[in-house]
Amino acid sequence: MILCGGDALIDFVPITRDGEEAFVPRPGGAVLNTATALARLWQEVTFLGGVSTDLFGDQLIRHMEREGIETAHITRTQNDSTLAFVTLAGGEARYAFYDDTSAGRRWTGIDTVPAADCLHIASVTLIADPSASAYADLAERVSPEMVVSLDPNCRPTLIRDHAPYAARIKRIAAVSHIVRFSDEDFEYLYPDADEGEVAKDLLSGRTALILISRGPDGATAYWKGGRSDIPARTVDLADSIGAGDTFHAGVLTALAQAGRLTHDALATLDRTTVDTALQFASTAAALNCERSGCNPPDLAHVQASLIG
């Protein structure tokens, strides 16, 4: 079981219809995207967080139920849903968020945490309290018992004060066993820092695997036994929405399939396991990029692509 805690929102994805630009509402958010990708990769997934009782919240719940994501531990409130309007430039997504007092941001935690192998947290709900502190506290609380996975997925346009935000992310990273940064996240959190030195520092603590995703330039993994780099797969690009989220889900899936999603197994990672996880994740992300919006592939599609 993988717990996914954080943002579930509505992405308004641009389309052109009858010569006019329009936006289509689709379920999204970094954590929901990852949860969706995990479910399609045949992982058992439970969502933790706040979802509105408005019409968009209902759309999010229907999406989760359709994808097989467990919703029993979601808190429904009358706060608005988070909305994100997407613009595309060369297939790369940029976002305008409407998220000040959303249901996701107002989440205050959970008393009884479901039994699981892994907790994955990310993105918008790590920016401001109460949700940011609630997820940070949750990560610290469960870290001794289960694997904690972190994807900051920084959104600078929503962050009003860089220093406390960066400190919070580094606090969560210190109790996380798997951490993924996009290259833009890394630059935002560690300006002018040497990537290898930051990785070395994190790996000296509880962190066992660090991923740096670089979009069309591939990805890098650091673990206690070394470093691996892989190129990105060539794709017929529709857009990049959800690519990083799908990549992260691919890594978690590959580790789970290999029996490596435990504290002890992560502490003894080897190059073969890491490279296999990177190839699986890169393939899943590439297939997602060939579809409009976040639309992750299922397990059979990824396996067929790897064989082909």
Concatenate the DSSP letters of all residues of 71-92 into one string.
Answer: -TTEEEESSPPPEEEEEEETTE
Helices (H) and strands (E) in the chain, counts: 10, 13
State the pTM of this model. Answer: 0.94
Secondary structure of residue 161 in the 3-state scheme: coil
pLDDT of residue 291: 86
Secondary structure of residue 294 in the 3-state scheme: coil
Cβ atoms of 98 and 83 closer than 8 Å:
yes
CB atoms within 10 A of CB 196: 11
pLDDT of residue 238: 73
pLDDT of residue 101: 85
Residues with Cβ < 8 Å from 39, sequence gap 6 or more?
A: 45, 67, 68, 69
Residues with Cβ < 8 Å from 85, sequence gap 6 or more?
A: 12, 23, 95, 96, 98
The backbone region for 116, taken as left when phi is positive above 0, alpha when psi lies in -120 to 50, beta otherwise, is beta
pLDDT along the chain (308 residues), means of 10: 96 80 88 97 98 97 98 96 81 75 93 96 94 97 97 90 95 97 95 94 96 92 94 80 93 97 96 96 93 88 87
Selection from 185, 195, 182, 308 nearest residue 243 by Cα = 182
The backbone region for 19, taken as left when phi is positive above 0, alpha when psi lies in -120 to 50, beta otherwise, is left
Cβ atoms of 239 and 289 closer than 8 Å:
yes
Question: What separation in angstroms does the CA of 8 have from each of 38, 52, 89, 197, 198?
Answer: 15, 10, 24, 34, 30
- What CATH code is assigned to 2-307? 3.40.1190.20
Question: What separation in angstroms does the CA of 216 have from each of 56, 171, 286?
Answer: 32, 29, 10
Cβ atoms of 198 and 190 closer than 8 Å:
yes
Residues with Cβ < 8 Å from 294, sequence gap 6 or more?
A: 11, 26, 28, 33, 36, 241, 242, 245, 246, 288
Question: What separation in angstroms does the CA of 27 have from each of 71, 85, 307?
Answer: 15, 12, 31
pLDDT of residue 90: 62
